[in-house]
Amino acid sequence: MKVYISATLQNFIGKNHVIEAPEGDLWSVLKFLTEEYPDAKQVLFDEDNNLRKFVRIYAGNEDRTTTDMWYKTLSGEEEVLILPAIAGGANDSIINDVRMKAQSLDDDEIKRFEKHLLLKEISVKGQKRIKAARVIVCGAGALGSPVIQYLAAAGVGTIKVVDENEVALEDLQTQVIHGSRDVRRPKVASAKDTVRNINRNIGFEAENAALNAENIEQIFDGYDLVIDCSDNYKLRYLINDACALLDIPVVFAAIYQYEGRVSIFNHNGGPCLRCLYPEPPEPGLVPTCAAGGAISPLPGIIGSIQANEALKLIIGIGEHLDGKMLIMDSLYLHTRILPVKKDSNCPLCGLSKTILSVEEFDYDDFCGLKEPDEETPVEGLTPEELTKRMDSGEPLTIIDVREPHERAIMRFPNAIIIPIGQLARRMKELDPEVDTVFICKSGKRSILAINTLREAGYEGNMYNLKGGFDAMKDIVLSHEGAWL
């Protein structure tokens, strides 16, 4: 027998929106429910074991809240619905009362969090919920920097940070959680040191790993909230799907140059990322492999909003960005909030789900990062091989498919600039008798460029620069007489 749980009560019943209970009467269903989920008992019943006045119970379309209706046998086709009768009858926090009450604040914590305690919406109960919270931050980069620091300063009890990368010099402009001494250190190690200086009393878990379909559910399991501070489409969809399957809300954000976006997905039956964007953009239409660049304060602004949304969800206060998206243009100071509707046809959270597990989904292929099996493998040149051919004077055509802001930072000598979207119509500019080498930042978009020209019918020899421009930085070209 199916028992449907109102969104406002799900935190007390294992975050389930529906459970299977043995057939019988309503009394046996409630007994099963409170035995399986002890937290639910104190929410549904008072100290005298009477059903609380803000809860109503329905079987099918019939109101069976009164106890004299509890012993009427239910048919297997009747569905039970447990529903609060009034708004606000249950706590909106993602941290239930049992966990909140298990926390205590010592004298040092009362002093440290005094400014929170003075706010009537937070006070002692809210600070205890913050202390009880277990939060994952995906990415210790530009967005992760303010998020991690503000969550630590607020006293979030456990923060797990997941990132596989090391700190690079170019990161320091926007990733203020790291310093010059941290260059070439794992980002999670640097973040841990910073958090220790902010608040040594919280738990910090450093996960120096790449999220993938095999490990993401295990890494996320047991946490209350995920904050998506990633910087690519593959990770965003991976995080969204895992959280929807695990029923964990996500505070999402993305930045590009001067623009930032923030939303909340997978919360209380609300929309997920796929409801908004069922699929990521086709590769080459927008910058997906290269970092898009951002003005230094932008990730601080957007990441601070993420942290603010996270704390509101933890405490259970205010108006959330669930079902909405905040869009901010920091260049022209335009801010707007747009609605995000749940899609009943969403393959992940809609009525007829087709995405049932993370493992079954090929994210590399979905995001256009994987070469289809039927295509001819793309030949590549190492930076050393390309340098040798250039220094020998051998005829070569070099096509740069990077974004304008990338080329402004560092140019490639004698390269022809052709965006991927223009390759097919401009292929007559290429000489099939001369080998053509394609370059991008990391060597992925250049593979896409080659496959695009193949599909358009170009028959000349084409090569991908392995590792892209990033791998070419330490190469000296003799005729240039300078480092690239």
Ramachandran region of residue 468, left (φ > 0), alpha (ψ -120 to 50) or beta?
left
Give me Rg for the CA atoms of the chain: 27
Which two three-digit tokens encode residue 106? 């010592």
User: Is the separation of the CB atoms in 169 and 181 below 8 Å?
Assistant: no
User: Of the residues 138, 229, 275, 440, which is catalytic?
Assistant: 440
255 by DSSP, 3-state: which?
Answer: strand
Query: Residue 175 and residue 145: Cα distance in Å, rounded?
Result: 6
- Where would I find the beta strands (DSSP E) of 79-235? 80-84, 134-138, 158-162, 203-207, 225-228
Which two three-digit tokens encode residue 38? 């002890």
Query: Residue 388 and residue 464: Cα distance in Å, rounded?
Result: 15
User: Is the separation of the CB atoms in 410 and 338 below 8 Å?
Assistant: no
How would you class 425 by CB atoms within 10 Å of its CB: exposed for 0-12, middle for 13-18, buried for 19 or more?
A: exposed
Which two three-digit tokens encode residue 147? 């998020």
Which two three-digit tokens encode residue 13? 């019943």
- Strand order from edge to edge, sheet including 203-207: 203-207, 158-162, 134-138, 225-228, 250-256, 259-265, 324-329, 334-339
Q: Tokens 């597990």 — which residue?
A: 357
Which helix (H) or strand (E) segment holds residue 19: the answer is strand 18-20
Query: Residue 44 and residue 249: Cα distance in Å, rounded?
Result: 24
CA distances to 8, 12, 98, 234, 366 from 15, rounded to whole Å, are 10, 7, 14, 26, 29
CA distances to 46, 49, 54, 387 from 41, rounded to whole Å, are 8, 9, 14, 71
346 is a catalytic site residue: no
440 is a catalytic site residue: yes
Query: Residue 186 and residue 191: Cα distance in Å, rounded?
Result: 9
User: Of the residues 275, 289, 349, 367, which is catalytic?
Assistant: 289
Parallel/antiparallel/unpaired status of strands 462-465 and 476-477: unpaired
Which helix (H) or strand (E) segment holds residue 454: the answer is helix 445-456
399 by DSSP, 3-state: which?
Answer: strand
- Which candidate, 338, 344, 216, 335, places its Cα nearest to that of 270? 344
Query: Residue 380 and residue 389: Cα distance in Å, rounded?
Result: 13
Provide the annotated active-site residues: 289, 440
